[in-house]
Structure 1
Amino acid sequence: MDKKELEKVSDFSLGEENTAYAQYFIGKSYLSTLNKEEAFIANVTFEPGCRNNWHIHHVGGQILICVGGHGWYQEFGKEAQFLKSGDVVYIAPEIKHWHGAVADEAFAHLALSVPVEGASNEWCEPVTDEEYNKLK
């Protein structure tokens, strides 16, 4: 997808291609750090079909604030949730999950986390095409 088109997905800065975490994504994403004081806030933009691997936030959770396009959020063992601008998802610590764009549209969310001593992310297996393609 053209970068100019991705910049229109939300009012927040698109940032740079998310190469540091590319190994944990299927497809291309972009990351823009918005705040590092007290709470970390980043705008994450996913190209159509892009999603991150299953992962777990240990000790500290995460909040997603959807700001553009449409996407998916799924906790392991549960049905996927369709996401649209204005939706807010709280992800408790130790919950295995993934999130990303729908197949035919870009998606952006703010990812918010509060630094907690001992917090870490555990990246797990990719969301397979078979799992992803079942979502409608």
Structure 2
Amino acid sequence: MGVISCNGIDSQKSENKTDVNTVFPKGEKITNNNFVGTVWLNYLVETDSTHNVNIGSVTFEPGARTNWHYHKGGQILLVTAGKGLYQEKGKPIEIIEKGGVVKCPANIEHWHGATPTDAMTHIAIGTNTNIGGAVWLKPVTDEEYNQISK
């Protein structure tokens, strides 16, 4: 991964690519098995030999989320719109909102996505991609997802 590596991005463009409430266009619908629900990705920067970073704007529709995964080089999430969820393995789910910043430590299993009722967009920055990208694991079950603290 890096950002949220999507080797199965749908080639069809989204009909609503430029929403006035978003910083970047929505991008393309993700069609691989590393996500549950409807998720859109707009790659902004892909890693190269000078910049060991991937950056993408990722939009999760309500209820959508990543699978459990970890990043060999870590990840930073900058929430640009909406309300979402973030959880590290063994810890409670955290609510993340517009303006929030999450530093995902290297090699720590986690997942992130929208709440059941709100969409969420974040800039995902895959750091230190020269040591490896994301390692995708099993889907977040509905039981795990619904453990949101009240």
Task: State the TM-score, normalized to the length of structure 2.
Answer: 0.80
Q: For structure 1, which runs of at least 5 residues remain unmatched after alignment?
A: none
Please say if residues 9 and 107 of structure 1, whose CA atoms lie closer than 8 Å, have aligned partners that are also in contact.
Answer: no
Matching of residues 50-129 of structure 1 within 5 Å: 50-58=64-72, 60-129=73-142
Q: Given the superposition, is the C-alpha separation of residues 8 and 116 from structure 1 closer, same or farther in structure 2, using an over 3 Å criterion?
A: same
Larger proportion of helix: 1
The sequence identity of aligned pairs, in percent, is 41
Task: State the TM-score, normalized to the length of structure 1.
Answer: 0.87
Q: Given the superposition, is the C-alpha separation of residues 121 and 9 from structure 1 closer, same or farther in structure 2, using an over 3 Å criterion?
A: same
Question: Aligned with 1:104: secondary structure?
Answer: coil
Q: How many residue pairs align between the two structures?
A: 132
Q: For structure 2, which runs of at least 5 residues remain unmatched after alignment?
A: 1-13
CA RMSD of aligned residues (A): 2.1
How far apart are the structure 1 equivalents of 2:55 and 2:84? 19
- The equivalent residue for 2:22 is 10
Shift of 1:18: 1.3
How far apart are the structure 2 equivalents of 1:8 and 1:16? 17
1:34 maps to 2:16: no
Question: Aligned with 2:78: secondary structure?
Answer: strand
Shift of 1:12: 1.6
Shift of 1:35: 1.9
Q: Given the superposition, is the C-alpha separation of residues 107 and 9 from structure 1 closer, same or farther in structure 2, using an over 3 Å criterion?
A: farther
How far apart are the structure 1 equivalents of 2:17 and 2:43? 20
